[in-house]
Each structure stands twice: as structure tokens, then as C-alpha cells.
Amino acid sequence: MKKLITTLSTLLLAGSLFAQSLTGYDIMKKADEVPEPKTSSSTATLTIHSKKGSDRVREVIMKSKDYGDVEKSVIVFTTPKDVAGTGYLMFNYEEDAKGNKKDADNWLYLPAMKKTRRIASSGSESEGSFMGTDFTYQDMGERSLNDYDYKLLGEEKVDGVDCYKVECKSKKGTEKDPRYITYIGKKDYIMRKCEFYDRQNQLHRVLTCTDFTTIKGYTTAQKMKMENVQTGTWSLIETKNIKYNDGDIDDSLFTVAALEKGRIK
């Protein structure tokens, strides 16, 4: 019995030392490597809350497909009528063996103008509001690991879940929010919360992910709320009808032509 207790103590100590040896970069890399489904489709309700207290509600369709070297995603607004048909197409590229990553390709289609325009994946345009929400175009895509420096600040619970608290600082430092602190679940490496700080190092926005569920082995947040603490506005995405790896998705849907012809339904 004494030997068993000694062995268990050694294992527990080894596990503790392993956890302590993780760096901020290690944690973020593990979070980046969490398996994702090859295909995904869902609908969502988007609520935009103004500082005056009024709400605007939008309904959207979302689809994505992983091609290995690139993940293609599309978001199309279905209601109300004034935004119906508006679509956003994203190509997020994987890093190569040397850690280099091609800039994302993004297109926004506005049916009222019958026009599609490219959205820059970096710079001031990428930091602009996505369709009048508190999310930016940059938030809708993926951030490259190599664009930030990381520091493990400690551990903290978020909604009862033990999380690593990691500071992420942009190497460029020119963004509106050049620093953010993210809370990553210790067991599953899924993000629970993220705090964005502006150039004056003042808290600007807070993203909270809640209502987690597991679908075909993939842990998924069904609600994502982005709050601008400086303006008092917030935007909430409530995802529904989530389907992972449920049949193939036609490659032609991830094209500008599909957006312009209203094929994504």
C-alpha cells in the first residue's frame, strides 16, 4: 500500500510539473491544434444591442469546409429584408512547415449595391465592425500564432471551468486592440473568454463563450457574446441546427459567384 501511495504521489507530482512547464505559446499552440470537423453547417441568430438599449435581430446561415491547406467559410444573412442576401466569404490558410502563413482572402457581397469587394485581412479595414456588430472582420477569421508573443499569467476559473490565463501581445502593436488575454480550458484547450485591450491598454471588448455542447466529439460554444465595455454595446451570436461532417458540402458554394447568385440557403 505504501508503495502504491508513493507511486501515485510521484505521478501526480509529475503531472503538476508538466502543467507548470507549459508556456503561453505551448498552450495557444495546443488550442490551435484542437481537432475540428471537416464540414460544418448551422444557422444562427445575431442580436445587436445599441447603447440606447434597442436591439436589432438578424438570422444567418453559416457553412465551412476544411480542405487541409485552407478552410473555406461563408456567412449569409437571411433576415430581415434590408440585409437578406448579404454574404461574407473567408479563406483561412494553414501555416506551412516553416510556420509561414498566407494572408486570408475575404470577400463581402452587398446585394443592395450588387457589388462584391475584397476585405483586407490586416490593417484598419480588418479591424472595422462586421455588419454593424461589436465583432470585427478580424474576429470572424483566425489569428496566426506567429503574429503574437505569449505569456502565461496564471490560472483562473471561468464559469466553473479551470482555465489557463494567457496574455497575447501583437508583434506589430499597430492594431486597435494590440493585446488580449484569453482563458483556455485546462482539460480541452477550448477558449472560454477573451479580453481585448486598446492601444492605451484600457479594456475595450470582452468575448464570452457559453452554452457548450458536444457534437460528434467536438466541443462547441452555442453562444458567443462580444461586449464593448467602452460604449455599452454588445453583440450575441446564438448558433442552432449545428451539423458536423453530415454529408459533403458542394465546393461551388464557397465562391463569389455563389454569393452573387444567392445560391447559399
pLDDT digits (tens, 9 = 90+) for 126-177: 899 999 999 999 999 888 888 999 999 999 999 999 999 999 999 988 899 9
Report the b/e string of 227-263 with b at 16+ CB within 10 A: bbeeeebbbbbebeebebeeeebeeebbbeebbbeee
Contact 138, 90 (CB under 8 A): no
Instruction: Show the cell assigned to 97.
Output: 512547415
Amino acid found at 216: K
How many helices and strands, by DSSP H and E, does the chain display? 4, 13
pLDDT digits (tens, 9 = 90+) for 246-257: 989 999 999 999
Task: Confirm whether pTM is higher than 0.85.
Answer: yes
Of 119, 117, 101, the C-alpha closest to 109 is 117
pLDDT 10s digits, 86-105: 999 999 998 776 767 788 99
Query: Among 200, 207, 203, 213, which Cα is nearest to 239's?
Result: 213
Question: Which uninterrupted H or E stretch holds 21?
Answer: helix 2-21
